[in-house]
Each structure stands twice: as C-alpha cells, then as structure tokens.
Amino acid sequence: MCPDPTGRLQVLAENVALTLHEHDQERLDRLAEVRKDEAVWEHQRKYEQSKREYLGQDVLKDTGSAVVWWLAKNDDEVEKTVADLGLLAQLASAANDTDVPERLRGFLPGPHGEQPIPDIMDKSPVSVVREPTAADHFEGFLTGMGFADGDVRRAMVAKQVAEIVIKQERNETAEELLRRFDPPARYTPDDDVTDGAPET
C-alpha cells in the first residue's frame, strides 16, 4: 500500500490477525516462562539477602542484640532466656566469626565454658569387636564339614584353598590360611586319608 501524498486519505482496519509459525510461538512462550521464573528467583534472592542482613547485622550483631530479639519473641520466658545465654552467645560469636567474650564464658556448658573431661580411669575398657577374617570363615567351613581340630584333612584342604587364593592375587589371605592351619609341606591328591589321622 502506497502512502497518500495529499495527506487527506485516512484508512482504518478492523479484525487484524497476526499469525506466527509454530516454532516462533513456542520460542515466545519459553521466553515468557523464563522471564516469570527470573522474576520469582529475583524476589526470592532479595528476600533471602534481606533476611541474612537482618539476622547478621541486627539480631546476631552481638549477644545483647540476640538476647533482646529473643525476649521480644518470647516475652514470657525470661528464665529460659537466662538459661540460654550461653547458646545465644555462641550463636552471636559464630555469626561474627569471633570467640565468645570472656565475661560470657561462664554461661557456656560445663564449668567456665569448658566441657568436663571424662575420668577414663573409672571406666572399664571398651571391648573392641574384631571383624571376622577369611580364615575365621574358613574355620567355620571346616567345622561344618566335620573336620575337627587335629584332623589332618583340615591342613590339606587349607593348602588346596590357599593355592587357589594365590591365583586370585589374594596373597595375604593365603598366607593367613597357611599360617593358621599349618598344612604339611607336601601334599598330593593321591594321599589316602580315611579316619581323620595320618597313616602310620
């Protein structure tokens, strides 16, 4: 459409519709969602920042401010506030990365803010439970097979198992089996043991 050079012609239009390609519409929808999420995130960030400033620069500025804040929220629990002075002092000091003031250390748990040292001389020694080793489990296997202590078959089976374990690169386990069950120096599968004792 060409413009009217005289400027006397006015044109009005109704029911104008704009049609976008489907992928363009999807892109605009995604941009709208991102803008909404960004606005929500920005409000959350400002809220958290404001809360941190309130707690760090006002409530926990020092122990006195923490006590006043606590009393304002719990005006009918004065005795509990006094009992919690040590906790409030620790919170304020931790928030400011400083030590608890000397004048408030008496409110910390323990005498003068020190944790009591347990008297280990009055306590019985704590027994340490040792985790069963592979040799312990093997002992149970031999017992379950009916190979009692003194049965030569225990040593022979241990030697055979140790040789298999060595092939699996478990040398420490194999050494423990050999050391614990003391197998004979030589053993061949042709050895004939019938009554659980070496033949004479």
At 9-32, the pLDDT tens digits run: 777 778 888 888 888 889 999 999
Note the pLDDT of residue 168: 78
Q: 157 exposed, middle or buried (CB, 10 Å; 0-12, 13-18, 19+)?
A: buried
In the numeric block, the tokens 């053993």 are attached to 187
Note the pLDDT of residue 116: 46
Which helix or strand (DSSP H or E) is residue 24 part of?
helix 22-54
Judge whether residue 83 has pLDDT over 50. yes
Could you please report the per-residue DSSP string of 137-154?
HHHHHHHHTT--TT-HHH
Express each pLDDT in 88-101 by its tens digit: 888 788 877 788 88
Q: 174 exposed, middle or buried (CB, 10 Å; 0-12, 13-18, 19+)?
A: buried
Express each pLDDT in 32-41 by its tens digit: 999 999 999 9
By mean pLDDT, which of 13-17, 125-129, 167-171 is the weakest? 125-129
CA dist 63 and 104 (Å) reads 9
